Amino acid sequence: MKLSTMLMYDGNPRTAADQVVELEKAGLDTVWVAEAYGFDSPTLMGYLAAKTETVEIGSAIMNIYSRTPGALLQTAAGLDNVSGGRAILGLGASGPQVIEGFHGVPYAKPLARTREIVEIIRSGMRREPLQADGEFKLPLSKEQGGVTGMGKPLKLLTKPERDSVPIYIAALGPKNVELAAEIADGLLPHLYYPEKIGQVMGAPIAAGTAKRDASLGKLNIVAGGMLAIGEGPETKALLDFARPIFALYVGGMGAKGKNFYNDLACAYGYEKEAAEIQELYLSGKKKEAEALVPTEWLEAANFVGPASYVKERVAAFEESGVTSLNVTPVALDGNAPAVLAELKALIS
């Protein structure tokens, strides 16, 4: 299994990027850069490309609404160049909270939009003229507001490092998961529970895989959580640091009826807890919401405890289909790279 980590977007990314350099030396294979409604990911990915030598650098995720397909293509090609062929393009529909609340763009047709954008980017990386007849209708006709004589399709001006970059899709709902399994190089699920993921995503993955082009190869799945290896109760207590992120997504990433992560919690069998967490979180009672995140879920979704236990959790993730373990290493002494190196030795 590959080892990856997420560049945290709620702190100082320069400091986080410095740590990625040390994690690279400890055996890190991939770093993912989120943006949500914080710093943009392309800037940080370019910064990481200049500071690192071997790690793959992926967006996780850039949403499919706030940039045109052409802009996403430019980012993929540009990052692949400055990184020397280490780019991964992680895309996703995000959700109404971010798309409408931060970008001011209607959250509409996520499936059709995702499919078409993936097609356009793959075509564009081959330096084919950008053409589409779906959501984007490239090039613009005069009837669509195009300027007469200027609406011919263009191809990428510069030559990309590679004629393709891996495209990963973040998905949770059945239709999105099925689409990712059909057209993407990889799947980026969140709040992953390996023992229960089959009942939630098993059928959609199978349906998408049945339609998958053989040239794409096997579907990669990237999932994981906090990593802390140790025997004592002080290590186990670190698990509580994961509660805020679970409560944020289950409780605060969308209004009632419009929160995909809340839907996921319900699919895992936590309907009562999901409803209560959302009610508390949206009422501003975040600490109370965090306390209701099921400990069973936290333990299953993270790697916190003795080395033997962590190894068992890694095996559970691998058995469920995960090909890249995405971890956030935490150490009581602050030496996160040493924790990653220990995990690397455990799974070698």
Q: Residue 214 sits in a domain of what CATH number?
A: 3.20.20.30
Distance CA 346, CA 348 (A): 6
At 141, the pLDDT band (50, 70, 90 cuts) reads confident
Chain segment 244-293, per-residue pLDDT in tens? 999 999 999 888 998 999 999 999 999 999 999 999 999 999 999 999 99
Does residue 149 surpass a pLDDT of 60? no
207 and 281 together in one domain: no
276 and 321 together in one domain: no
Mean pLDDT of the chain: 94
* Dihedral pair phi/psi, residue 92, rounded to 5°: -170, 165
How many structural domains is the chain composed of?
Answer: 2
172 and 239 together in one domain: no
240 and 101 together in one domain: no
Distance CA 59, CA 42 (A): 8
Q: What does the buried/exposed string (b/e) look like for 95-129 if buried means 16 or more CB atoms within 10 Å of the residue's CB?
A: bbbbbbeeeeeebeebeebbbbbbebbbbbbeeee
235 and 130 together in one domain: no
204 and 273 together in one domain: no
pLDDT of residue 10: 62
Burial of 256 (0-12, 13-18, 19+ CB in 10 A): exposed
Locus of tokens 């609404």: 65
Mean pLDDT of 138-165: 84
160 and 15 together in one domain: yes
Chain segment 86-96, per-residue pLDDT in tens? 999 999 999 88
Distance CA 165, CA 76 (A): 7
101 and 247 together in one domain: no
C-beta separation of 52 from 24 below 8 A: yes
Range of the domain at 260: 231-300
Mean pLDDT of 318-327: 97
- What are 186's strand-pairing partners? 168, 220
Distance CA 273, CA 160 (A): 48
At 148, the pLDDT band (50, 70, 90 cuts) reads low
Burial of 25 (0-12, 13-18, 19+ CB in 10 A): middle
74 and 189 together in one domain: yes
Where among 300, 320, 335 does a domain terminate?
A: 300
The residues, ordered by sequence, that sit 6+ positions from 238 with a Cβ below 8 Å of its Cβ are 226, 228, 304, 330, 332
